[in-house]
């Protein structure tokens, strides 16, 4: 599970960094077209591989961790709250445990606080606030049957994806009528100037963007995240990850499920990326607002399908190549720390309170920064766990969660 988290961290970084490098994206504006084929391929590849997929994986793991924490919370102190160590050691305490209810409440309350601080001062696209709020809903539905959970998740996905595809399709069909519809959002170059300007300019722009983005997070990403919570809940109860790791399901069986899902999702994502960025390797493509919206809707629709393929195939790889999972695991064990640290690093790099590089770097250079940050986090995580048992933020969060022991 920690290996999955570590790779999801790479995906989240690969998506989030563009909102720092091109802050006009926080306002829903794509900005200027890319200038070189290499730059275009970086953005195209990032969209196809990661956009609307990585947070889906994290959301699934959140629901799974919820079950594991409840099982282990009664007598074992080694189950981490949200992103932390993989709590594979479990007891049959899930259906009971008044104390674990209190711990869940404290855990989700802490996520809300962390999410507000993260959103207000680091990244307007924060997801922790939504996780904390929706965590209380998950707590209330913890006894939901597997069938009801799966039906609920499917309905949420169908409604959100269907609604967005309908609106986006209509917008794309009447593209000409939408000309100038995003003018009210302002000049993209001005957004970069404000974000990379003085501390006051940066904070003013950031807070305004946060209020704008928050509604999208809560109304679109939030419901889909909750659908993935429910899937994680079902998988956790059925102990599917443990059963896969134990060899109960053959590689052929798993690949027969994972590869088609990955292929279908990737094709839909490819179409979405084509709408927004043009053919792979092309330059000068400038989509209208309808094409941008439809591209985003296709990515969102593809997210759960493609993510399912990712998870299944990665579990097969981890089962066959344990050293790979071992290499990735430390970063996943302190994924909360790494997630927030990514935002801090990017503020230092791109905001005016730091180096002010917003709008200054090529897409290829930004892609290099992604690999450098993620690679550094892998290394630092290994070094950290050579001396400590929990991550820098995971330790106090766990202490707060279990303060009633």
| pLDDT above 50 (res 132) | yes
The arithmetic mean of pLDDT across residues 315-334, rounded, is: 94
Question: Coil, helix or strand for 212?
Answer: helix
Contact status, residue 303 vs residue 261, Cβ threshold 8 Å: no
| pLDDT above 60 (res 178) | no
The arithmetic mean of pLDDT across residues 18-26, rounded, is: 93
172-176, 212-216, 331-335: range with lowest mean pLDDT = 172-176
Q: What is the pLDDT of residue 89?
A: 38
Write down the domain spans for the chain.
2-84+96-401
pTM check: above 0.75 = yes
Q: Which long-range CB contacts under 8 A does 250-259 form with residues at least 24 apart?
A: 251/316, 251/319, 251/320, 254/312, 254/313, 254/315, 254/316, 255/312, 255/313, 255/316, 257/308, 257/312, 258/308, 258/309, 258/310, 258/311, 258/312, 258/313, 258/316, 259/309, 259/313
Helices (H), 50-145: 54-73, 98-121, 128-140
The string of pLDDT tens digits covering residues 236-276 is 999 999 999 999 999 999 999 999 999 999 999 999 999 99
141-150, 195-204, 335-344: range with lowest mean pLDDT = 195-204
Q: What is the pLDDT of residue 176?
A: 61
Closest to 123 in 3D by CA, of 181, 195, 66: 195
| pLDDT above 80 (res 315) | yes
| pLDDT above 50 (res 80) | no
Q: What is the pLDDT of residue 393?
A: 96
- Integer Cα distance of 100 and 70 in angstroms: 6
| pLDDT above 80 (res 183) | no
Q: Is 52 left (phi over 0), alpha (psi -120 to 50) or beta?
A: left
User: What average pLDDT does the chain have?
Assistant: 88
Percent of the chain with pLDDT strictly greater than 70: 89
pLDDT level of residue 186 (50, 70, 90 thresholds): low
Torsion angle, CA of 176/177/182/187, rounded to 10 degrees? 50
pLDDT level of residue 179 (50, 70, 90 thresholds): low
Question: Coil, helix or strand for 49?
Answer: helix
Q: What is the pLDDT of residue 405?
A: 55
19-28, 187-196, 342-351: range with lowest mean pLDDT = 187-196
Residue 402 exposed, middle or buried by CB count within 10 Å (0-12, 13-18, 19+) = middle
| pLDDT above 60 (res 65) | yes
Cα atoms found within 13 Å of the Cα of residue 72, Cβ hemisphere only: 20
């Amino acid at each position: 599970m920690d290996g999955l988290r570590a790779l999801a961290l790479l995906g989240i970084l690969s998506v989030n960094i563009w909102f720092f490098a091109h802050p006009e994206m926080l306002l829903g504006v794509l900005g200027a077209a890319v200038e070189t084929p290499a730059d275009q391929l970086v953005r195209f590849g990032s969209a196809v591989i990661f956009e609307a997929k990585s947070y889906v994986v994290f959301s699934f793991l959140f629901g799974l961790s919820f079950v594991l924490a409840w099982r282990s919370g009664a007598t074992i102190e080694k189950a981490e709250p949200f992103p932390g160590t993989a709590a594979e050691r479990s007891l049959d305490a899930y259906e009971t445990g008044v104390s674990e209810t209190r711990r869940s409440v404290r855990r989700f309350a802490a996520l809300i606080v962390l999410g507000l601080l993260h959103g207000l001062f680091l990244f307007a696209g924060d997801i922790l606030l939504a996780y904390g709020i929706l965590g209380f809903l998950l707590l209330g539905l913890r006894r939901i049957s597997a069938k009801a959970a799966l039906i609920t998740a499917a309905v949420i996905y169908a409604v959100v994806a269907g609604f967005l595809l309908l609106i986006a399709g209509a917008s794309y069909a009447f593209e000409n009528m939408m000309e100038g519809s995003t003018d009210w959002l302002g000049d993209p170059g001005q957004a970069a100037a404000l974000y990379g300007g003085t501390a006051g300019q940066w904070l003013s722009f950031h807070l305004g963007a946060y209020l704008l983005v928050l509604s999208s997070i809560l109304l679109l990403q939030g419901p889909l995240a909750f659908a993935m919570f429910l899937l994680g809940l079902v998988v956790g109860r059925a102990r599917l990850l443990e059963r896969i790791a134990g060899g109960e399901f053959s590689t052929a069986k798993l690949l027969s499920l994972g590869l088609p899902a990955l292929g279908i999702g990737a094709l839909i994502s490819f179409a979405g990326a084509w709408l927004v960025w043009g053919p792979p390797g092309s330059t000068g493509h400038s989509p209208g607002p309808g094409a941008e919206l439809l591209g985003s809707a296709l990515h969102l629709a593809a997210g759960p399908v493609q993510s399912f393929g990712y998870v299944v195939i990665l579990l097969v790889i981890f089962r066959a190549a344990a050293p790979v999972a071992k290499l990735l695991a430390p970063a996943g064990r302190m994924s909360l720390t790494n997630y927030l640290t990514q935002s801090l690093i990017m503020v230092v790099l791109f905001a005016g309170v730091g180096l002010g590089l917003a709008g200054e770097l090529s897409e290829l250079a930004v892609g290099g920064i992604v690999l450098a940050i993620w690679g550094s986090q892998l290394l630092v995580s290994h070094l950290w766990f050579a001396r400590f048992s929990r991550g820098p933020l995971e330790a106090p969060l766990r202490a707060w969660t279990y303060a009633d022991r």
